[in-house]
Structure 1
Amino acid sequence: MTRRALIFVEGSRSNGPLYVEAAQRLCLHPVTLAADPAKYGYLAAEALESIRVDTDNLDALIRECSHLRRTYNIAGITGFSNPDESVYATVGKLCRHFDLPGPNPVSIERCCDKFVQRQLLAEAGVPIPAYRLATNATEVESSAAEIGLPVVLKPAVGGISGTGVRLCRNVDELAEHTTYLLAGKHIWRSSPRILVEEFAQGPHYSAHIMGNEVIGIVAAEFGHPPHFVFRGFTFPALLTDDEHARIADLSLRCLRALGLGWGPTGVEFRWTKHGPVVIEVNPRLSGPPDPQMIKLACGIDLIAEHTKLVVGEQWDLHRSRSHAAAARILVPDRDGTLDWIDGDSQAAAVPGIAEVKLFVKPEALIVMKGDNRDEIGHVIAVSSSLAQTAAILQHAVDLIRWSITPLPTAGKQEQSRPHSTTPSRDAT
């Protein structure tokens, strides 16, 4: 009998290994097609099959999948955003070509262009921040003046993990980030197009959807402005029944406006003084720690159920428990060389801690980018109540410490000192 294979377009340091495990539990052989398979350490570590191919070239991907069909029965195709979400549209096109279950590529492409996404949401009456599209510094300046400072600048296409996204609170910050985006420091896959957006102030929430069902809502906290770097998450979000219903209803309105509704979708909100405002719709599953928290709290394994959908099997979105989960993101406070990091074993041994992961090792070079790539680890806790979970999580993160020696500046090197993981409560 021909072996069934699941094709992954590109990989992911975070969700990649989890999808591989889900595929193997379904007796599927995972095969990764990537422009540079060496970027994904788990492929070599687990001796997983991978093939080097230009993943921006649809014809090349079709040829490679056609070649693989001589050896395997391709049960499904899915992928991961790298370096932007265009891969999801490519996956949709591959699925259409090989008559496999998959998302609508046209809907994905419209959603991945943040300017087009906002136009469609606005036409459907979905509350969103005021926005303008700019292609040069003059247009950025005039757009910000029309909207009023502070504004958020972000690439109209891309911006995965928050890359290129910044809050500009005054004209100096506006000019600085405009220069960064237009002067070649930000990598554009096409002509530069910048979204200038009103800064919607209020608590941040993410609705996680599978198909047309809202699975749950996660609350998130950010670190210091002007960057939007996640520091903590809580699931389920502490909302009233009415607030939960309003976010859920608005999430489904977003799906209808954008033509989505197949597989996973994430909708990000700010709860402003006028109520919930949609910040972004992502036609994909969020990265950790959200899927892990949802699985721990309500028993739904989003990665496993999405994998079933991809290969045409029936998924199960039944909730099997009602717990509370929370996560803390470990983020350094400076550039430099990581001298040491420890306490992860002690933190993992704390009752109620479900996961402790570190993504760096001693002697690693730390260069902060001002986005979610700054994450050096995370801790996830679960218990029967939010209060208890918060206490467990704080106890565990207090056990993790590290030391970073700053890079020399002007011939002077700052004294290295230990760093606590306790975050500031200031949030954008």
Structure 2
Amino acid sequence: MATLLMVEGWLRSTGLCLPPLIRERGHRYVLFTQDPALYPAAHSGEPHPVIDRADEIVRVDTNDLDAVTAAALDLAERLPIDGVLTTCDYYLETAAVIAARLGLPGAPPEVMHRATRKHLVRSAISEAGLANPAFAVAACWESSLAAAATIGYPLVAKPVDLNAGTSVQRVDDEAGLKDAFWEITGVERNTRGQPLSRLLLLEELIEGPEFSVEAVTRGGETTVIGITDKSITGPPAFVESGHMFPARLTPAAAVTIEEFTRDALAAIGYTHGLSHTELRLTPDGPRIIEINPRQAGGYIFDLVRLVTGSHPLELLVDLSLGKAPQIGSERATATSAAVFFVMSPRPGTVIGVDGAAALDADADVVRWHLPTPATAGYPRSNDAYLGHVLAVDATGGAARERAEAAVGSLRLRFADGSTATPIGLPG
């Protein structure tokens, strides 16, 4: 049995699934958190798994690198620590620093610092000579105007250090640029209380279907597990409405995407860890949207497990323990798998979901989660999900259509008596 140090965790998706997996593997973990109340109980009253499955909880200011590192060194004096991990983007660099101080496996801290800042990733890709959209970083309104004039509208505006697609948006003109500038630079801290850079990243808008590459890197060697097909909604934002694994691609296109992803990871110096690289396949070839130096969220890890037999969260645990990841070590149960997210077309309180009970009778639906009551709003980021439906195709590549059909059969029922079809469905 190994003892892991978990530095905070994600609230949903991977944060819900990793704690029981650690226990099922026969390991235990100590949780470092600034506040256990960050992890809310389920509607049923069941404690959040991050809290419930922890062998020990240590309260420490996880946003203070010196304090959390000192706490880790103190912990290691009384309890052998075998690995350090996190499922939360905002603590990836912290986990890397702690692992390095304890002499445990992990990404070099300076690499994780670069990989978690979008503008530094863009610069590294350009410096490596890889194809890259035009981009600029702005700290003031005047430099934003000048950068937009150089790049040209339409363009994409992003914060450099937020996640889940927060505040990422298409900008078509100066008025939209002003809105994006103040939205992005006006926020001082992220949802975990960490100070933000308050920089605006402007990028050339790139067109083409969107994919993500799920990979694992150890000792500088990157193995691609597979490519995910992604669907986007919520303009002018870029909200992920669904994923299917594996993506429908020609063998030649898949090879091109995989090779470009390996080159991009090498460009940022990535030598250890899981990665979830988002890109678009343009007429001129692949172009990186973002590199995420972690496992995929949005239940993509479940899709990968169903189709390949490899569980990315198990690979995360193995990597943290210095073990070679075993890809495809379990039997696959589907040829394709897809998740589609339930989002509301308008604000309001959703008190029920008509049609949800019928999902249990759908042989293609592996799992669905639609807790109510829920507060809904027009989606501006991936945090707008009210729930999800996960479906499979045991023998073919139609899992996406099956997940979409399942969500299309639902009606959101609001407290004011109205109903609505979830947003983001095709057609």
Q: Same fold (TM over 0.5)?
A: yes
The alpha carbon displacement at 1:391 in A equals: 4.3
After the TM superposition, which residues 137-148 of structure 1 pair with which residues of structure 2 at under 5 Å, given as runs? Answer: 137-148=141-152
Q: Which range is displaced more, 324-333 or 58-67?
A: 58-67
8 Å contact kept, 1:348–1:396: no
After the TM superposition, which residues 237-386 of structure 1 pair with which residues of structure 2 at under 5 Å, given as runs? Answer: 237-318=247-328, 320-321=331-332, 323-358=335-370, 360-362=371-373, 364-368=374-378, 370-386=380-396
Closer/same/farther in 2, CA of residues 245 and 79 from structure 1, 3 Å limit: same
8 Å contact kept, 2:187–2:198: no
Tell me, yes or no, if structure 1 residue 101 matches structure 2 residue 99.
Answer: no
Q: Which range is displaced more, 344-353 or 145-154?
A: 344-353
Match in the other structure for 2:45: none
Match in the other structure for 2:213: 207
Closer/same/farther in 2, CA of residues 92 and 378 from structure 1, 3 Å limit: same
Q: Which range is displaced more, 279-288 or 3-12?
A: 3-12
After the TM superposition, which residues 188-227 of structure 1 pair with which residues of structure 2 at under 5 Å, given as runs? Answer: 189-211=195-217, 212-227=222-237
The alpha carbon displacement at 1:18 in A equals: 1.6
1:262-294 CA deviation, whole Å, 9 max, x = no partner?
120111111112121111111111112211101
8 Å contact kept, 1:9–1:78: yes
Match in the other structure for 1:162: 165
Match in the other structure for 1:420: 421
The alignment partner of 2:144 has SS state of helix
Report how many residues are paired. Answer: 409
After the TM superposition, which residues 2-151 of structure 1 pair with which residues of structure 2 at under 5 Å, given as runs? Answer: 4-13=2-11, 14-41=13-40, 42-43=48-49, 46=52, 48=54, 49-81=56-88, 85-151=89-155
Closer/same/farther in 2, CA of residues 326 and 43 from structure 1, 3 Å limit: closer
Share of identical aligned residues, percent?
A: 27
Amino acid of the structure 1 residue aligned with 2:421:
S
Q: Distance in 1 between matches of 2:184 and 2:95?
A: 28
The alignment partner of 1:141 has SS state of helix
Match in the other structure for 1:409: none
8 Å contact kept, 1:325–1:386: no
1:63-90 CA deviation, whole Å, 9 max, x = no partner?
3223333553211111132xxx341111
Q: Which range is displaced more, 321-330 or 43-52?
A: 43-52
8 Å contact kept, 2:335–2:397: no
Match in the other structure for 2:412: 402
The one of 147, 171, 176 aligned to 1:173: 176
The alpha carbon displacement at 1:386 in A equals: 4.6
Task: Provide structure 2 residue ranges, at least 5 long, that are not aligned to the other structure.
Answer: 41-47
Q: Distance in 2 between matches of 1:192 and 1:36?
A: 25
Closer/same/farther in 2, CA of residues 176 and 117 from structure 1, 3 Å limit: same
Q: Which range is displaced more, 204-213 or 114-123?
A: 114-123
1:232-283 CA deviation, whole Å, 9 max, x = no partner?
1111111111100000000110121111031201111111121211111111
Match in the other structure for 1:411: none
The alignment partner of 1:162 has SS state of coil
Amino acid of the structure 2 residue aligned with 1:39:
L
The alignment partner of 2:83 has SS state of strand
Closer/same/farther in 2, CA of residues 51 and 368 from structure 1, 3 Å limit: farther
Match in the other structure for 2:44: none
1:160-216 CA deviation, whole Å, 9 max, x = no partner?
001121111222211222222234487582442111111101110100111110110
Task: Provide structure 1 residue ranges, at least 5 long, that are not aligned to the other structure.
Answer: 406-414
Closer/same/farther in 2, CA of residues 236 and 47 from structure 1, 3 Å limit: closer
8 Å contact kept, 2:153–2:173: yes
8 Å contact kept, 2:234–2:379: no
8 Å contact kept, 2:187–2:196: no
TM-score, normalised relative to structure 2: 0.89
Q: Distance in 2 between matches of 1:113 and 1:422?
A: 30
Amino acid of the structure 2 residue aligned with 1:179:
W
1:118-169 CA deviation, whole Å, 9 max, x = no partner?
111011122121101111111111111111111111112x220011211112
Closer/same/farther in 2, CA of residues 417 and 149 from structure 1, 3 Å limit: same
The alpha carbon displacement at 1:403 in A equals: 1.8
8 Å contact kept, 2:376–2:386: no
Q: Distance in 1 between matches of 2:159 and 2:403?
A: 34
8 Å contact kept, 2:239–2:379: no
8 Å contact kept, 1:131–1:147: yes
Q: Distance in 2 between matches of 1:74 and 1:52?
A: 17
Q: Distance in 1 between matches of 2:394 and 2:309?
A: 13
Closer/same/farther in 2, CA of residues 53 and 344 from structure 1, 3 Å limit: farther
Q: Which range is displaced more, 33-42 or 181-190?
A: 181-190
The alpha carbon displacement at 1:343 in A equals: 3.5
